[in-house]
Structure 1
Amino acid sequence: MEKKILDYTQNRELSWLRFNQRVLQEAQDLSVPLLERMKFVAIFTSNLDEFFMIRVGSLHDMEALGDESIDRRSGMTAAEQLDEIYKAVAPLYKERDKTYAEIKKQLSPYGVCGLSFKELEQQEKKYVKKYFKEQILPVLSPQIVDANHPFPHLLNNTIYVTANLKQGNKSMLGIIPLPDFISDIVYLPGHDIRYIRMEKILIEYMELIFDQYEISDKNYICVTRNADISPDDETFADDADFRKRMKETLHKRRRMAVVRLETAEPLTKENEKYFCEKFQIEPKQIFRTKTPMKLGYMFAVAEKVPESMKRSLIYPPFHPQEARMVTDGSIMKQVKKKDIMLSYPYESMEPFLKLIKEASVDPNVMTIKITIYRLAKKTRLVEYLCAAAENGKEVTVLIELRARFDEQNNIDWSERLEEAGCRVIYGFEGYKVHSKICLITYRNRNEIQYITQIGTGNYNEKTAAMYTDLCLMTANKKIGEDAAMFFQNMSIGNLDGEYDQLIVSPSSLKKNILSLMDEEIAKGKNGRIVMKMNSVTDMDFIQKVSEASKAGVKVDLIVRGICCILPKVPGETDNVSVMSIVGRFLEHPRIFCFGNGADKKIYIGSADMMTRNTEKRVEVACPILDPELKTWVTHMLKTMLNDTVKGRNMTADGTYVKRGREEDGVNSQEVFMHEAIRESRNKSVVVEHKTIFDKIRAWMRK
Structure 2
Amino acid sequence: MNKHYDFSYTQDRELSWLKFNERVLREADKKNVPIFERLKFLEIFTNNLDEFFMVRVGSIHEMSLIHDDHRDIRSDLTPEEQLDEIAKHVRPLYELRDQIFAKVSKELEQKNIIRSKIEELTKEEKKKLRSYYEAMILPVLSPIVIGKQHPFPHIPNKVLQIGLLLKKKEKISFGIIGLPRDLERMIFFPGDGRRYVLLEDIILYYCDDLFENYSVEEKAVLCITRSADINPDDEIYESTDDYRTHMKKIIKMRARLKPVRLEFEGNDHKHIKKYLSMRLNISEQDIFKSQSPLDLKYVYKLTDKVSKEERKNGCYRPFTPALNRDFIPGMSVTKQIMEEDKLLSFPFDSMDTFIELLKESARDKETLSIKITIYRLAKQARIVKYLCEAAENGKEVLVLMELRARFDEENNINYSEILEEAGCKVMYGMEDYKVHSKVCLITKKNSRGIYYITQIGTGNYNESTSKMYTDLSLMTASDKIGQDASIFFHNMATFNLNRTYKHLLVAPSSLQDEIIKRIEREKMKAESFQPCGIFMKMNSLTDRKIIDELSKASTAGVPIFLLIRGICCIRPGIPGKTENIRVESIVGRFLEHSRIYAFGVGDDTDIYISSADMMTRNTRRRVEVAVPIYDPRLKQRILKMIKIMKQDNIQAQVLLSSGEYTTKKKREDNVNSQIYFLNEAKRLIKKEKTPKQTFLHQVKGIFFGNKKLRKK
2:90 corresponds to which residue?
89
2:464 corresponds to which residue?
462
Within-5 A mapping of 1:1-80? 1=1, 5-80=6-81
From 622, 634, 641, the counterpart of 2:627: 622
Q: CA deviation at 1:266?
A: 3.2
Mark the runs of 5 or more structure 1 residues left unpaired by the alignment.
694-702
Q: CA deviation at 1:187?
A: 2.5
Q: CA deviation at 1:153?
A: 0.8
2:504 corresponds to which residue?
502
1:333 corresponds to which residue?
335
Identity across matched positions, percent: 48
The CA distance in 2 between the partners of 1:643 and 1:688, in whole Å, is 40
Question: Does structure 2 conserve the Cα–Cα contact (< 8 Å) formed by 1:550 and 1:575?
Answer: yes
Q: Which amino acid is 2:650 matched to?
A: V
1:700 corresponds to which residue?
none
The CA distance in 1 between the partners of 2:691 and 2:284, in whole Å, is 68
Question: Does structure 1 conserve the Cα–Cα contact (< 8 Å) formed by 2:2 and 2:71?
Answer: no
The CA distance in 2 between the partners of 1:174 and 1:449, in whole Å, is 68
Question: Does structure 1 conserve the Cα–Cα contact (< 8 Å) formed by 2:2 and 2:73?
Answer: no
Q: CA deviation at 1:690?
A: 6.1
Question: Does structure 1 conserve the Cα–Cα contact (< 8 Å) formed by 2:165 and 2:271?
Answer: no
Residue 28 of structure 2 aligns to a residue whose secondary structure is helix
Q: Which amino acid is 2:471 matched to?
A: D
Q: Which amino acid is 1:684 matched to?
A: K
Q: CA deviation at 1:35?
A: 1.1
Structure 1 residues 303 and 502: alpha-carbon distance in aligned structure 2, compared to 1, 3 A threshold: farther
2:523 corresponds to which residue?
521
The CA distance in 1 between the partners of 2:59 and 2:216, in whole Å, is 38
Q: CA deviation at 1:5?
A: 3.2
Residue 347 of structure 1 aligns to a residue whose secondary structure is coil
Is 1:202 equivalent to 2:203 in the alignment?
Answer: yes
Within-5 A mapping of 1:375-386? 375-386=377-388
From 365, 368, 371, the counterpart of 1:369: 371
Q: 1:446-486 deviations in whole A, cap 9, x for unaligned?
A: 41000000010000000011111111100000100000000
Q: 1:42-100 deviations in whole A, cap 9, x for unaligned?
A: 11100000000010000100112243211111111000000010011111110111011
1:127 corresponds to which residue?
128
Question: Does structure 2 conserve the Cα–Cα contact (< 8 Å) formed by 1:322 and 1:348?
Answer: yes
Q: Which amino acid is 1:521 matched to?
A: K
Q: CA deviation at 1:600?
A: 1.0
The CA distance in 2 between the partners of 1:123 and 1:673, in whole Å, is 50
Q: CA deviation at 1:16?
A: 0.4
What TM-score, normalized to structure 1?
A: 0.96
Structure 1 residues 268-277 or 446-455, which shifts more? 268-277
Residue 220 of structure 1 aligns to a residue whose secondary structure is strand
Structure 1 residues 373-382 or 166-175, which shifts more? 166-175
From 587, 595, 601, the counterpart of 1:596: 601
Q: Which amino acid is 1:215 matched to?
A: V
Within-5 A mapping of 1:528-547? 528-547=533-552
Q: CA deviation at 1:239?
A: 5.1
Q: CA deviation at 1:111?
A: 2.2
Within-5 A mapping of 1:338-357? 338-357=340-359
Please provide the CA RMSD for this pair: 1.9
The CA distance in 1 between the partners of 2:316 and 2:121, in whole Å, is 30
Q: CA deviation at 1:167?
A: 2.8
Question: Does structure 2 conserve the Cα–Cα contact (< 8 Å) formed by 1:645 and 1:662?
Answer: no
Q: CA deviation at 1:244?
A: 1.3
Residue 152 of structure 1 aligns to a residue whose secondary structure is coil
1:578 corresponds to which residue?
583
Structure 1 residues 189-198 or 666-675, which shifts more? 189-198
Residue 205 of structure 1 aligns to a residue whose secondary structure is helix
Q: Which amino acid is 1:219 matched to?
A: A
1:658 corresponds to which residue?
663
Q: 1:641-682 deviations in whole A, cap 9, x for unaligned?
A: 1110000000001111001127751000000000000011xx
The CA distance in 2 between the partners of 1:311 and 1:688, in whole Å, is 38
Structure 1 residues 586-595 or 660-669, which shifts more? 660-669
From 682, 687, 699, the counterpart of 1:684: 687
Is 1:415 equivalent to 2:417 in the alignment?
Answer: yes
2:106 corresponds to which residue?
105
1:441 corresponds to which residue?
443
Is 1:142 equivalent to 2:143 in the alignment?
Answer: yes
The CA distance in 2 between the partners of 1:386 and 1:411, in whole Å, is 15
Question: Does structure 2 conserve the Cα–Cα contact (< 8 Å) formed by 1:5 and 1:72?
Answer: no
The CA distance in 2 between the partners of 1:301 and 1:326, in whole Å, is 38
Q: CA deviation at 1:268?
A: 4.5
Q: Which amino acid is 1:568 matched to?
A: G
Q: How many residues align?
A: 692
The CA distance in 1 between the partners of 2:75 and 2:112, in whole Å, is 48
Mark the runs of 5 or more structure 2 residues left unpaired by the alignment.
697-712
Structure 1 residues 265-274 or 7-16, which shifts more? 265-274
From 429, 444, 452, the counterpart of 1:450: 452
Q: 1:542-590 deviations in whole A, cap 9, x for unaligned?
A: 0111011111110000000000000111110001000000000000000
Structure 1 residues 288 and 689: alpha-carbon distance in aligned structure 2, compared to 1, 3 A threshold: farther
Within-5 A mapping of 1:603-614? 603-614=608-619
The CA distance in 2 between the partners of 1:302 and 1:483, in whole Å, is 45
Q: 1:375-424 deviations in whole A, cap 9, x for unaligned?
A: 01111000000010000000000000000000111111101100000000
2:473 corresponds to which residue?
471
Structure 1 residues 687 and 141: alpha-carbon distance in aligned structure 2, compared to 1, 3 A threshold: farther
Residue 523 of structure 1 aligns to a residue whose secondary structure is helix
Q: CA deviation at 1:171?
A: 2.5
2:703 corresponds to which residue?
none
Residue 557 of structure 1 aligns to a residue whose secondary structure is strand
Question: Does structure 1 conserve the Cα–Cα contact (< 8 Å) formed by 2:240 and 2:246?
Answer: no
1:698 corresponds to which residue?
none
Q: 1:263-307 deviations in whole A, cap 9, x for unaligned?
A: 113355433321111011111111001111110111121344321
Residue 250 of structure 1 aligns to a residue whose secondary structure is helix
Q: CA deviation at 1:123?
A: 4.5
Structure 1 residues 159 and 538: alpha-carbon distance in aligned structure 2, compared to 1, 3 A threshold: same
1:115 corresponds to which residue?
116
The CA distance in 2 between the partners of 1:663 and 1:182, in whole Å, is 51
Q: CA deviation at 1:213?
A: 2.4
The CA distance in 2 between the partners of 1:687 and 1:656, in whole Å, is 51
Question: Does structure 1 conserve the Cα–Cα contact (< 8 Å) formed by 2:328 and 2:689?
Answer: no
Q: Which amino acid is 2:70 matched to?
A: S
1:432 corresponds to which residue?
434
Residue 90 of structure 1 aligns to a residue whose secondary structure is helix
Question: Does structure 1 conserve the Cα–Cα contact (< 8 Å) formed by 2:457 and 2:611?
Answer: yes
Residue 400 of structure 2 aligns to a residue whose secondary structure is strand
Q: Which amino acid is 2:387 matched to?
A: L
Structure 1 residues 570-579 or 121-130, which shifts more? 121-130
Residue 291 of structure 1 aligns to a residue whose secondary structure is coil
Question: Does structure 2 conserve the Cα–Cα contact (< 8 Å) formed by 1:453 and 1:471?
Answer: yes
Structure 1 residues 257-266 or 186-195, which shifts more? 186-195
Residue 46 of structure 1 aligns to a residue whose secondary structure is helix
Structure 1 residues 505 and 26: alpha-carbon distance in aligned structure 2, compared to 1, 3 A threshold: same
Structure 1 residues 40 and 663: alpha-carbon distance in aligned structure 2, compared to 1, 3 A threshold: farther
Residue 172 of structure 2 aligns to a residue whose secondary structure is strand
Question: Does structure 1 conserve the Cα–Cα contact (< 8 Å) formed by 2:583 and 2:654?
Answer: yes
2:706 corresponds to which residue?
none
Question: Does structure 2 conserve the Cα–Cα contact (< 8 Å) formed by 1:111 and 1:192?
Answer: no
1:404 corresponds to which residue?
406
The CA distance in 2 between the partners of 1:691 and 1:245, in whole Å, is 53
Q: 1:318-362 deviations in whole A, cap 9, x for unaligned?
A: 111221011121101111111111111111111000000000010
What TM-score, normalized to structure 2?
A: 0.94
